[in-house]
Homo-oligomer: A and B are copies of this chain.
Amino acid sequence: MTTRKDTAERNDRALLQAARDVLAEDGAHASVAAIAHRAGVGIGSLYRRYKTKEELFQRLSLMSLEHWNQAAEQGLADPDPWAGLAGFVRGCVEFGQGSLAPVAGIIEVTEQMRARSRRGDELLEELVRRAQGAGVLRVDVTAVDIALLIEQLGRSPVVDQLRKQGREDLLPAATRARRRLIAIALDGLRPGHAPLPEAAPGEELCSGRWSRE
């Protein structure tokens, strides 16, 4: 019955999802017109909900940071240290954290984002420490390595390319193939391998996700 507020909420969700997709395909040049069109709404509707393009992207960033932290906490709640870490990685990759990297260069990073980012770093470090303590994660990988892995695999040029070309039919296969890739990378994180090249001590990349400056 309350069809009005109903569609409004659905539109909001559709907009955020569309923004993620377009950002994945077009990077920093993603246009509001493209986002609105993909969400199936008019440009006017987009601007009624978000005053500017930046506001939309800021909201999206906050959401992704929130997802990261929730996924990490969920991973820590898992009694199995390895399953917790692996689930976290899988969750973040499938969420598409990597696709949102370019927005950090467009929007103004608020203190709130930086705070959540710091909290996310802490949670990830705790996940890593716990897994290494249990002997289910090779000891020569760092939290930064994991963050970078998520960033790297969380963006899928092939899938994006296919979607842009409208080859929706090939999409499931590509997604499945990507999932296999994640499994391979996770296997590489298990103990028993030769040590990694120079761990670059001191030279922290501070995960670089939202640091900007």
Contacts and interface: CB of A to CB of B under 8 A. Distances in A.
Interface stretch (A8-16, A69-77, A99-107): A99-107
Contact of A180 (B104, B176, B196): B196
Secondary structure call for the A interface: helix
A173 interface: yes
Interface stretch (A25-33, A57-65, A120-128): A25-33
Contacts of A29: 26-27, 29
Interface in A172-213: 172-174, 176-181, 183-190, 192-194, 196-200, 203-205, 208, 212
A111 to B, nearest CB: 19
A153 interface: yes
A172 to B, nearest CB: 8
Contacts of A177: 144-145, 148, 200, 205
B27 A164 contact: no
A208 B174 contact: yes
Nearest to A199: B180
Interface stretch (A36-44, A47-55, A154-162): A154-162
Contacts of A199: 180
Kindly state the interface size class of chain A when it binds its partner.
35 or more
A141 interface: yes
A119 B26 CA distance: 30
B161 A208 contact: yes
B162 A180 contact: no
Contacts of A187: 187-188, 193-194
18 contacts: A26-B27, A102-B157, A102-B161, A104-B161, A141-B184, A144-B177, A145-B177, A152-B152, A162-B208, A172-B203, A173-B203, A176-B197, A176-B200, A180-B199, A183-B188, A184-B185, A184-B189, A186-B188
